[in-house]
């Protein structure tokens, strides 16, 4: 998969490296600001019961 992305990025090695870094940062930002906040309420970590 990574070689496919690398082959399809335009430019030389330096430009491809910058574009790859921007892609990684964009994916991280998407996960941090969109996906994780959407998933967090669906996780069962707040449903804690203590039996007595």
Q: What is the pLDDT of residues 21-51, one digit of tens each?
A: 999 999 999 999 999 999 988 887 766 777 6
User: Which segments of the chain does DSSP mark as H helices, in order?
Assistant: 2-8, 13-30, 36-39
* DSSP assigned state of 9: S
Does residue 10 belong to any structural domain of this protein? yes
Is the model's pLDDT at 11 over the cut of 80?
yes
Does residue 49 belong to any structural domain of this protein? no
pLDDT of residue 47: 67
Does residue 41 belong to any structural domain of this protein? no
Instruction: Count up the domains in the chain and report the number.
Output: 1
Does residue 47 belong to any structural domain of this protein? no
Does residue 43 belong to any structural domain of this protein? no
Does residue 9 belong to any structural domain of this protein? yes
> Residue 16 sits in which domain range?
1-27
pLDDT of residue 51: 66
Q: Tell me how far apart the alpha carbons of residues 36 and 45 are, in angstroms, rounded to a whole number.
A: 14
């Amino acid at each position: 998969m990574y070689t496919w992305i690398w082959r399809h990025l335009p430019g030389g090695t330096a430009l491809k490296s910058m574009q790859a870094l921007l892609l990684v940062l964009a994916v991280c930002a998407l996960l941090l600001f969109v996906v994780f906040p959407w998933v967090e309420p669906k996780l069962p970590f707040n449903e804690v019961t203590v039996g007595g």
